Each structure stands twice: as structure tokens, then as C-alpha cells.
């Protein structure tokens, strides 16, 4: 009887350890998957790396939204972002915004933006950015939308824009940055 009870205790301990180990491994797998999804918010095409495409939430009825990201060129020759499309808009343009003598101007860049060899270009509020026009629906915080960047040399890259809260600076902690 003593031997049987001891064997049962060992078996229960082994099962508990296995179950606890399995639970711990599943938890770690979940964390790894979440980390992979966060890292998936960066894209690569040839020598180009596209980091953290994002937009801000818009109010219902808004007809425009901005798009922001960083493009890094690890190559030895320049490339050029020549066009953008997005599932949420009828039209998208690459814009430059700047303030000269206290006057803010914004204009589309018909020739796109050069990404210098070994350099990077930031599309951010108050500077270069993507202007999504003729929105089919508002952008909603926490809901990503698809887009395509087209480069002169690297070709097209399908991406997703994360939507952050309206106004203020972007919080990239939810998507790896």
C-alpha cells in the first residue's frame, strides 16, 4: 500500500509538472507570437526598410487623413517613393509641408520623394507625409488599413497602416516602435 501511494504521488507530481510546463510553454508561445506581430509592422523590399506606417483616427465625415512612416535605404544607390495607394481612400498623394516666414504651405510632390543611398526619410506630421483623400470611411483607432507604396527601383510594397488616437504624437508601443 505504501509503495502504491508513493507511486501515485510521483505520478501526480510528474503530471502537475508536465501540465505546469505545458502552460508555461503556451504562455511563452503567446508572448512570442505577439512579439512577432509587433515586429510585422516593419517591411522590407530589397535594400529598403519601411518602419511603422501609421495614421491618426479621424472623425466621421472626414474626407482626408495623413499617413506617416520611416523609409531607410541600406543600398548604395538612391530610390524614390513615387506613389501610394490605400484601401480607405479614392486618392493618395505624397506631400510636403513646411513653414516659411511664418506661413505654412503644403504641396503634393509630383515626382515623389528620393530616398538617398545609405540614408532615410521620415514622413511625419509637419513635414513630408502621405495625404489620403476621398476617404471611404473614417480611420479608427486600433484598426489597421492596407496600403501599397510604389518605389522607382524596388517596386511595390504592400503594407498596413496602424491607426493611433486622434491628435498628439503616435504611440508605437502597440506595434513594436
Model confidence pLDDT, tens digit, residues 49-70: 999 999 999 998 999 999 999 9
Q: Of 10-14, 78-82, 106-110, which gets the smallest average pLDDT?
A: 10-14
CATH code for residues 43-168 = 2.60.40.1890
| CA–CA distance, 120 with 81 (Å, rounded to integer) | 12
Average pLDDT value for residue range 118-143 = 96
Q: φ, ψ for residue 14 (rounded to 5)?
A: -65, -45
Tens-digit pLDDT profile for residues 6-30: 555 564 555 445 554 444 444 444 4
Residue pair 77/67 in contact by the 8 Å Cβ criterion: no
Average pLDDT value for residue range 86-90 = 95
Mapped to the 3 state alphabet, what secondary structure does 37-53 carry? HHHCCEEEECCEEEEEE
pLDDT band, residue 76 (cuts 50/70/90): very high
Q: What percent of the chain has pLDDT over 90?
A: 67
The answer to whether residue 72 scores a pLDDT higher than 80 is yes
Enclosing H/E stretch for 26 = helix 2-39
Query: Given the DSSP bridges, would you call strands 79-86 and 155-164 parallel, antiparallel or unpaired?
Result: unpaired
- 3-state secondary structure at position 138: coil
The answer to whether residue 88 scores a pLDDT higher than 60 is yes
| CA dihedral sign, ordered 165, 89, 97, 70 | positive
- Tell the burial category of 107 from Cβ atoms under 10 Å away from its Cβ (0-12, 13-18, 19+): exposed
**Cell 504611440 maps to which residue?**
171
Residue pair 95/106 in contact by the 8 Å Cβ criterion: yes
Tens-digit pLDDT profile for residues 33-51: 443 344 458 999 999 999 9
Mean pLDDT over the full length of the chain: 82
Residue ranges of domains in the chain: 1-40, 43-168
Average pLDDT value for residue range 113-136 = 97
Amino acid at each position: 500500500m505504501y509503495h502504491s501511494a508513493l507511486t501515485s504521488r510521483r505520478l501526480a507530481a510528474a503530471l502537475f509538472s508536465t501540465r505546469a510546463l505545458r502552460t508555461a510553454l503556451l504562455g511563452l508561445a503567446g508572448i512570442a507570437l505577439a512579439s512577432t506581430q509587433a515586429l510585422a509592422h516593419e517591411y522590407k523590399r530589397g535594400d529598403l526598410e519601411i518602419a511603422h506606417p501609421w495614421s491618426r483616427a479621424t472623425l466621421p465625415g472626414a474626407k482626408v487623413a495623413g499617413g506617416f512612416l520611416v523609409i531607410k535605404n541600406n543600398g548604395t544607390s538612391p530610390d524614390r517613393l513615387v506613389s501610394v495607394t490605400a484601401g480607405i481612400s479614392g486618392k493618395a498623394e505624397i506631400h510636403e509641408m513646411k513653414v516659411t516666414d511664418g506661413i505654412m504651405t503644403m504641396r503634393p510632390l509630383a515626382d515623389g520623394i528620393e530616398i538617398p543611398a545609405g540614408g532615410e526619410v521620415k514622413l511625419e506630421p509637419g513635414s513630408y507625409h502621405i495625404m489620403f483623400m476621398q476617404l471611404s470611411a473614417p480611420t479608427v483607432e486600433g484598426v489597421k488599413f492596407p496600403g501599397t507604396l510604389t518605389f522607382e527601383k524596388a517596386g511595390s510594397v504592400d503594407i498596413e497602416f496602424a491607426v493611433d488616437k486622434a491628435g498628439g504624437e503616435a504611440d508605437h508601443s502597440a506595434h513594436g516602435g
